[in-house]
Structure 1
Amino acid sequence: MTVRLVDTPEGPARTTTTDPAGEPTGTLVLGHGAGGLRWTLDVLATRDAAVAAGWQVVLVDQPWRVAEKKIGPRPPVLDVAWRPVLADVVARSAGGRLVVGGRSAGARVACRTAAEVGADAVVCLSFPLHLPGKPEASRAAELAMPSAAGLPVHVVQGTTDPFGTPAEVEAVLPPGATLDVVPGPHSLGRVAERVAALVLGRLASGE
């Protein structure tokens, strides 16, 4: 693993890059959620599976996590930090496909910026379609942004996710997007290996 601090307007972000044994198929960049300072099991399992399949994987810690704050800032601030990090990742990558994504808030960041950073596809783990109990405040427009730019989006959603059930996500799924359903709530740690297998299947198929 290679750990690197990247300067952003919001302070230093951190990238942790894991390279495969041979020439990379492409680069998968994953962001984290809005709470906590540790990487979740679903993201770590996805990283390990992707590296084993020949992908370079970059985990991005937003500046607020590098500063060891407990809660992340508002979405525009996350996007401001994400853009220079992706520029640094692309400049140092070996080429191939660029897939961006993350879990929860990280998935939102990836959707909002995918076209701008030159991504080829987006992976969303537990996309937070709305706050619990507030389905009227939908973030469907964010989920649709990559598709509007012609980029495929893949969502993995838990059956009882209070931030948006699979049925709710499916109802607003944009053209060209795909959805896989796994048991569980917003946290997917108990089905981490299943999540990783589903993501890897989509990567292998070119989606």
Structure 2
Amino acid sequence: MAVELLWTGPKGGPVLVLAHGAGAAMDSVWMNRFCELLAERGIRTARFEFAYMAARRTGTRKPAPRADLVLDEYRAAVAAVHEVLAASGADRPVAIGGKSFGGRVASMLAEELFEAGSVSALVCLGYPFHPPGKPDRLRTEHLAELRVPTLICQGTRDPFGTREDVTSYALSPAIRIQWLDDGEHEFKPRAKISGHTHAEHLATAADAVAAFLRAPSS
């Protein structure tokens, strides 16, 4: 399965394979900005698109499929990244993750790839713990057993999982959460209420991801 990769950041930095959210492409404004922030912090990202999103570029409008139906596409992306690294003589474990839907897919594969030695960590940017307005439809069962070091960056008022919601879940001790005060799913806060800005929260999340990837087990 051919995979088109979009690389950002210095070649010598830790590598993060990053998948997009359900409704936005790998080069959306949000994804571009966040990868730029990671690059400024020495992190190299490899972005890719699931087939349904790539098809939209040719005019074929497809909805996001169930997360379990694109696992092989994510596996192929990780394999492609390792091929590139091996060709440059720098093959090593990489971190995987994504924005929302992409992070959920990565989380479903993380343990498998961690055990195989090809992945060292997991990063989720706005994890969709449940659909908005449906807190009973949890997507957390596999998160209770994760052993791979995991960082979730989450706004405290994210409709896919607020701080109040998430603190009640049984999550693995391997998961750490970087909370972004008053942030929603894109980490954007209400500036007049919280005193924070969107740019500030994006930078805080990028700082947390960069520090985590340099020492995921600490």
Structure 2, unpaired ranges of 5+: 189-197
Structure 1 or 2: more strand by fraction = 1
In the TM superposition, residue 40 of structure 1 has moved relative to its aligned partner by: 4.7
1:81-112 Cα shifts (integer Å, max 9, x gaps) = 11112111112122234110011100111101
Segment drifting more, 175-184 vs 162-171: 162-171
Distance of 2:205 and 2:27 partners within structure 1: 15
Matching of residues 115-130 of structure 1 within 5 Å: 115-117=111-113, 118-130=118-130
Matching of residues 3-14 of structure 1 within 5 Å: 7=2, 13-14=3-4
Segment drifting more, 31-40 vs 116-125: 31-40
Q: 1:129 to 1:92 in 2, by over 3 A?
A: same
**What does residue 61 of structure 1 align with?**
49
Distance of 2:25 and 2:43 partners within structure 1: 25
Segment drifting more, 34-43 vs 59-68: 34-43
In the TM superposition, residue 180 of structure 1 has moved relative to its aligned partner by: 0.9
Q: 1:47 to 1:144 in 2, by over 3 A?
A: farther
Give the secondary structure class of the aligned counterpart of 2:4. Answer: strand
The reply on whether 1:168 has 2:156 as its aligned counterpart is: no
**What does residue 71 of structure 2 align with?**
79
Identical aligned pairs, as a percentage?
A: 30
Segment drifting more, 120-129 vs 61-70: 61-70
Matching of residues 135-154 of structure 1 within 5 Å: 135-145=135-145, 147=146, 150-154=147-151
Give the secondary structure class of the aligned counterpart of 2:119. Answer: coil
Q: Is the 8 A contact 2:7 2:46 kept in 1?
A: yes
| Larger RCO: 1 or 2 (CA < 8 Å, sep 6+) | 1
User: Alpha carbon RMSD of aligned pairs, Å?
Assistant: 2.2
Segment drifting more, 40-49 vs 168-177: 40-49
Counterpart selection for 1:51 from 16, 29, 39: 39
In the TM superposition, residue 61 of structure 1 has moved relative to its aligned partner by: 1.2
Q: Is the 8 A contact 1:104 1:125 kept in 2?
A: yes
Distance of 1:204 and 1:49 partners within structure 2: 15
| TM-score, normalised with respect to structure 1 | 0.82
Count of paired positions: 192
**What does residue 191 of structure 2 align with?**
none
| TM-score, normalised with respect to structure 2 | 0.78
Counterpart selection for 1:179 from 159, 171, 177: 177
**What does residue 3 of structure 1 align with?**
none
Structure 1, unpaired ranges of 5+: 1-5, 8-12
Q: Is the 8 A contact 2:150 2:216 kept in 1?
A: no
